[in-house]
Amino acid sequence: IPDEIKQVRGTYVDPRLVNYIAMWASPKYCIAVGKILDSIDKKVHEKLDEEELEDTVENAKPLFEEEVRKMHEKQIEHEREICSGYRDSPYELDQWEQEDLKREFREYELAKIAFEAAEKKLKVWGRFVKKYCE
């Protein structure tokens, strides 16, 4: 990470600027950040409505932190699933290990799709397969 970026790490940013900063970093990143923030906002407001609480910072902050914690736990679990057989975190992998991991993950996804397609065919042809095997 370049030194000029390290200097601003942990700096508070007004929430209204988050999308602009994300757009500066990358349009793809901006869309991902926007979706995450929108989903958190939606969940927080649903809980506020369920509990019939006023939409204030004091009421929303604990709910927001809880949603972020849940998302973080899901991300950590996902990283552990992906990185089994590798290191503890995908961020610690060198370039070659990252490429191997991406390739194996793509192969896994393709195999999963092929398996699901075969399952669908088996459901359609299942009764004929049973008769043929008897």
Q: What average pLDDT does the segment 69-87 reach?
A: 76
**CB distance 84 to 90 below 8 Å:** no
pLDDT band at 90 (very low <50, low <70, confident <90, very high): low
Q: Percent of the chain having pLDDT more than 70? A: 77
pLDDT in tens, 32-68: 888 888 888 898 889 888 988 888 888 888 888 898 8
* pLDDT number for residue 126: 67
Q: Would you tell me how many other CB atoms lie within 10 Å of the CB of residue 22?
A: 19
Judged by phi (left if over 0) then psi (alpha if -120 to 50, else beta), residue 52 lies in left
CB atoms within 10 A of CB 4: 7
Q: What is the pLDDT of residues 12-38, one digit of tens each?
A: 677 777 777 777 778 888 888 888 888
Q: Could you give the CA distance from residue 110 to residue 106 in angstroms, rounded to a whole number? A: 6
Judge whether 19 and 33 are in contact, CB under 8 Å.
yes
Say if residue 132's pLDDT is above 60. no
> What is the C-alpha separation between 78 and 74, in angstroms, rounded?
6
Q: What is the DSSP string of 38-99?
A: HHHHHHHHHHHHHTT----HHHHHHHHHHHHHHHHHHHHHHHHHHTTTS-S-GGG--HHHHH
